[in-house]
A and B are shown apart, each in its own frame.
Chain A
Amino acid sequence: MAVRIGMMSFAHMHAYSYAHCVKMLESEGRAQLVGVADHDPERGKQAAQQYDTRFFESYEDLLDAGVDAVIVCPENVRHRPLTEMAAQAGKHVLCEKPLATSKADGRAMIEACKAHSVQLMTAFPCRFSPSYIRLKQMVQAGELGEVLAIRGTNRGRNPGGWFIVPELSGGGAVIDHTVHVTDLCRDLLGSEVVEVYAEISNGFCHGDFDDTGMLTLTFANDVFATLDSSWSRPKVFPTWGDVTLQVVGTKGLAYMDMFAQNSTLYDDREMRITLQHWGSNIDYGLVSAFVESVATGKPVPITGEDGLAAAEVAFAAYESAKRGEPVRLPLPE
């Protein structure tokens, strides 16, 4: 039976890709896109039209329309209220990252979903990258020996809009780009971050938000990692950014450049050179896994706890930059 899905807001651009993936699953008979609601009705109506589905005037109306699950993609600070609303209505939730902008919000979301016996999954599509899956297989098979250190990057460009309004986003580049690689490291190592040091600046955009983050993470198993979460890609950079992991082990070194499967387009009309990605669609893996968990009742592969643990590293990074010293985790509840 097809899982009936509603989209709660398109404020985050990833919602478009997720909706597209739901439509792909619809064509496979595994899901159905029931409709869209958005606190920005114009945006919501346009998205509903784009994906050939219904627009609902309110989130309540969407939740009343017989959906099994929702995909929550509003501005970061609205993750909590929309997730709580969906949980109370008994709907499973796939929530965009970062899960929350504070530990209290994240904890409340997890508790709400638990209280109403619905599943909460955090949208970390990088876990579904075939390159990452292969890397994880090699690490787990011991091909690199014992993992000792990781160098990660998740760089991009300033997305603008609400992403640079800290009241809506919870920060800037650090909250935006810390969580993906942190989640991959946690997953790869099976160990939690116990200390965070961060150098943060606003040097690229000179705004009231951070655009540069250089984090150093220490894990409970003594592995250390650095993570560059900066919006440092120039406007003319040929692609949006990157997700990279270099894993140093006792028996070898592996380097993953997740989005390196591209051809180069030299476009005279646009006077631009761009990378045309032809690698696998990792968002499809994410949405497909969520739909499968909803359909079968099996636990989601990436939980709310995973989302909160990764977000907590970003919170700790801000705290570290403020204090000018490393910060121990877990942070106080």
Chain B
Amino acid sequence: MLRVGVVGVGTMGRTHAAAYTRLPNAQLVGFYDMATEAAQRTASQFGVKAFDSYGALLQEVDIVDICTPTPTHLELVVKAAEAGKHILCEKPLGRTLQQCEQMIEAASKAGVTLMPAQVLRFFPEFKQARDLVLAGAVGTPVAIRTRRGGPYPRAANDWYADFEQSGGPILDMVIHDFDWLRWTFGEAERVFAKALTFKGLDHIDYALITLRLRSGAIAHVEANWADPGGFKVDFEIAGDAGMIAFDSRHATPLTVAKQDAGGGGGGVAVPESPLAEDPYFLEIQHFVDSVAAGQPPSITAEDGMKAVEIALAAIESVQTGKVVRLGGGA
């Protein structure tokens, strides 16, 4: 039985915690959060402990699950590694490449598992698309488009709005797509991007990013924190022998509209896409099973760093107006 402590009691911390409670080989021991009241509230909801300090949490667990704002990852990961704990760390792994390197080094030195939570790999539509691509269903991929986003995200201390912390939608959100693109189509060679990030707008951000992959394929990534019409995801993989297209707006097997939504007038139709196993559970299950078996997980810390590298290159392109070449690429 692996004992787990979750750091950070925001949406993702609670989602991860719920997954651990359903696993036969893990036990959720408790939470730590600098916001002590929130930590206590969440802990009592789960019937577990709220630790007074991160150090106290580390003394009672085998696994640390880090769900805090990005710039805090480095210190939390290094301390966990030094204490010999296995680590699941939310994406993006680090705010800078140097931070990522330090985390990887600390985990490697301590001989512990460090897995970045690139959960998109457990979303069935994205995993299936990759399986189809690798099976040659579209021939050679040529033009790939992804879109992700919706309203501007709100969280504790409005930290998403602080670029120094979050890196904006390019680092915080479409890091998912960058990881999936690498996983499915291979490494990126160069990136060119435009964004609203540095235009001083109030809670509106948006980026359009073009990647040239080493395979020759071209990928277009949209990062949208400017759509009040709700969160949407889509992708399209066009190859020389076919195309795969997915649009979250059309993948809604259940839609409910209530006569009175409480506002007096009629309600808005709310679409749902229920799954037997949610991707977050599958992600946590894979991580725990890997740790239990002493096997490396399918997502490495290096994968987490490579995705950060693409995101930072895109941000650099936005800032300089230039094409940015990646990782000593061709």
The reply to whether A232 and B143 form a contact with Cβ atoms under 8 Å apart is yes
A325 at the interface (CB under 8 A from B): yes
Whether B204 is near chain A, meaning CB under 8 Å from some CB there, is yes
Query: Which residues, 297 to 330 on B, are CB-close (under 8 Å) to A?
Result: 321-323
Q: A94 on the interface (CB 8 Å rule)?
A: no
Residue among B190, B224, B226 with the most chain A CB within 10 A? B226
Which residues of B lie under 8 Å from residue A233 when comparing CB positions?
A: 238, 243
Docked-complex contact A204 and B238, CB < 8 angstroms = yes
Q: Does B240 contact A (CB under 8 A)?
A: yes
Bound complex: CA of A171 vs CA of B190, how far in Å?
24
Q: Let me know if A102 is at the binding interface, CB within 8 A.
A: no
Do A224 and B208 have beta carbons less than 8 Å apart?
A: yes
B266 located at the interface, meaning its Cβ lies under 8 Å from any Cβ of chain A in the complex = no
Minimum CB–CB distance for A320 against chain B, Å: 9
Contact A216 B208 (CB under 8 A): yes
The answer to whether A228 touches B143, judged by C-beta atoms less than 8 angstroms apart, is: yes
- How far in angstroms is the closest Cβ of chain A from B246? 15
A9 CB-CB contact with B under 8 Å: no
Q: Which of B142, B143, B210 contacts A226 (CB 8 A)?
A: B210
The answer to the question of B227 belonging to the interface, with a C-beta cut-off of 8 Å to chain A, is yes
The count of chain B contact residues (Cβ–Cβ below 8 Å) is 33
B253 contacts partner chain A, Cβ-Cβ < 8 Å: no
Give the contacts of A216-247 with B (CB-CB under 8 A).
216, 218, 222, 224-226, 228, 230, 232-234, 236-237
A248 within 8 A of B: yes
Across the interface, do B323 and A232 meet the contact criterion of CB distance under 8 Å?
A: no
Interface residue ranges of B205-257 to A (CB < 8 Å):
206, 208, 210, 212, 216-218, 220, 222, 224, 226-229, 238-240, 242-243
B177 to chain A, nearest CB (A): 15
Interface residues of B in 145-161 (CB under 8 A from A): 145
B201 at the interface (CB under 8 A from A): yes
Asked whether any CB of chain A lies closer than 8 Å to the CB of B49, the reply is no
Question: A270-282 interface mask toward B, CB cutoff 8 Å, 1 = contact, 0 = none?
Answer: 0000000000000
In whole angstroms, how far apart are the Cα atoms of A204 and B239 in the complex?
A: 6
Known pairs A149-B208, A234-B242; A199 contacts B201 (CB<8 A): no
Q: A212 at the A/B interface (Cβ < 8 Å)?
A: yes
- Is A253 within 8 A of B226, CB to CB? yes
A218's contact among B194, B206, B217, B240, by CB below 8 Å, is which? B194
Residue from A199, A236, A253, A326 in contact with B212 in the complex, judged by beta carbons closer than 8 Å = A199
Given contacts A197-B210, A224-B208, A234-B243, contact A203 B142 (CB under 8 A): yes
A224 touches B228 (CB 8 A): no
Q: Are A214 and B210 in contact (CB under 8 A)?
A: yes
* Cβ of B192 under 8 Å from chain A: yes
CA distance A201 to B214 in the complex (A): 13
Is the CB–CB distance between B196 and A325 below 8 Å? Answer: no
User: Among the listed B206, B218, B238, B242, which residue makes an inter-chain contact with A148, where contact means beta carbons less than 8 Å apart?
Assistant: B206
The count of residues in chain A whose C-beta lies closer than 8 Å to any C-beta of chain B is: 33
Q: Does B140 contact A (CB under 8 A)?
A: yes
- A206 interface residue (CB < 8 Å to B): yes
Asked if residues A216 and B192 are in contact (CB atoms below 8 Å), the reply is: yes
When distances are taken between beta carbons in the complex, the residues of chain A under 8 Å from B208 are 149, 151, 216, 224-226
Q: Which residues of B contact A252 (CB under 8 A)?
A: 228
Q: Is the CB of B227 within 8 A of A204?
A: no
Nearest opposing residue in chain A for B201, CB measure? A250
- Chain A residues with Cβ below 8 Å from B222 are 151
What residues of B have a CB within 8 angstroms of the CB of A232 in the complex? 142-143, 238, 243
B210 touches A148 (CB 8 A): no
**A204–B229 contact, CB under 8 A?**
no
Distance of A226 Cα from B145 Cα, bound (Å): 12
Q: Across the interface, which residues of A come within 8 angstroms of B321, CB to CB?
A: 326
Most A-side CB within 10 Å, residue of B220, B243, B322: B220
* A window 275-331: CB within 8 A of B: 324-326
Task: Give the nearest-CB partner of A253 in chain B.
Answer: B227
Contacts of A199 in B (CB 8 A): 192, 210, 212, 218
Interface pair B216/A203, CB less than 8 Å apart: yes
Q: How distant is the Cα of A237 from the Cα of B244 in the complex, in angstroms?
A: 11
A234 (CB) vs chain B CBs: closest residue: B243
Q: List 22 A-B contacts (CB under 8 A).
A: A149-B226, A197-B323, A199-B210, A199-B218, A201-B218, A203-B143, A203-B240, A204-B143, A212-B143, A212-B218, A216-B192, A216-B210, A222-B199, A224-B194, A225-B208, A226-B210, A230-B143, A248-B206, A250-B201, A253-B226, A325-B323, A326-B321
Q: Give me the interface of A with B, judged by CB distance under 8 Å.
A: 148-149, 151, 197, 199, 201, 203-206, 211-212, 214, 216, 218, 222, 224-226, 228, 230, 232-234, 236-237, 248, 250, 252-253, 324-326
List the interface of chain B (C-beta within 8 A of A): 140, 142-143, 145, 190, 192, 194, 196, 199, 201, 204, 206, 208, 210, 212, 216-218, 220, 222, 224, 226-229, 238-240, 242-243, 321-323
7 closest residue pairs by CB, A with B: A203-B142, A224-B194, A232-B238, A226-B208, A199-B218, A253-B227, A232-B143
If A216-B192, A236-B242 are given as contacts, then 14 extra A-B residue pairs at C-beta distance below 8 Å, sorted by A number, are A197-B210, A199-B218, A201-B142, A201-B143, A201-B218, A203-B140, A203-B216, A203-B240, A212-B143, A216-B210, A248-B204, A248-B224, A253-B226, A325-B322
